[in-house]
Amino acid sequence: MNLADAREIAAPRTVVWAAILDPEVLKTCIPGCKELTGTVEDGFEAIVVQKVGPVKATFKGEVEVSDIVAGESLTLTGQGKGGPAGFAKGAAKVSFADTDAGGTLLTYDVEAKVGGKLAQLGSRIIDGFTKKLADQFFERFQDGLEDPIEAEPEEENEEKPKKGWIGRMLG
């Protein structure tokens, strides 16, 4: 499964770049992320809960940031094992460019694959699901940068953070 998209963020490139390297930002933006520990240099460990079609699972896995060209591009790679549900792997190549309006154009290219029960039971819906996850991630990222005080969109029944992640970072 591959998908490519781009979005324009109304914030300067330096701010956007700093944000994406921030563990707190990653934690807030990764859909279903319950825990995220570690550093950019050593990689992160994450616990993510997701429901794909009929399969709900807790994924334990790693998130790595690589191919870092400061201010320009990086690759986010994640892989998680969901026990009997199988596994999910994904990589997003993200690049950053200035826009004429003084914002940042964020371009991303996502590749994802799933295995085990997720693939057997969810293959019909996995493409749509991957797109939803990627959209959610970058939407939250964008919202957090552009509108730091507003609560980010969250699914029902999940604990809603009171503020966007910049808001929280700013206290």
Residue 38 CB, shortest distance to another protein, in Å, is 20
Task: Return the residues of window 147-166 that contact another protein according to CB under 8 A.
Answer: none
Residue 135 CB, shortest distance to another protein, in Å, is 23
Instruction: Tell me whether residue 84 or residue 171 sits nearer to another protein (CB atom).
Output: 84
Contacts of the segment 128-135: beta carbons below 8 A, 24+ positions apart: 129/52, 129/53, 130/1, 130/3, 130/90, 131/3, 133/31, 133/50, 133/90, 134/3, 134/5, 134/92, 134/108, 134/110, 135/5
Instruction: Tell me whether residue 80 or residue 103 sits nearer to another protein (CB atom).
Output: 80
Instruction: Tell me whether residue 68 or residue 121 sits nearer to another protein (CB atom).
Output: 121
Residue 26 CB burial class (10 angstroms; 0-12, 13-18, ≥19) = buried
Instruction: Tell me whether residue 113 or residue 131 sits nearer to another protein (CB atom).
Output: 113
Task: Return the residues of window 46-85 that contact another protein according to CB under 8 A.
Answer: 83-84
Task: Return the residues of window 81-140 that contact another protein according to CB under 8 A.
Answer: 83-84, 86-87, 113-117, 119-121, 123-124
Task: Say whether 9 sits in a helix, a strand or coil.
Answer: strand
Looking at residue 63, its amino acid is: V
Distance in angstroms (rounded) separating the CA atoms of residues 144 and 135: 14
Instruction: Tell me whether residue 79 or residue 95 sits nearer to another protein (CB atom).
Output: 79
**Contacts to another protein by CB under 8 A:** 83-84, 86-87, 113-117, 119-121, 123-124
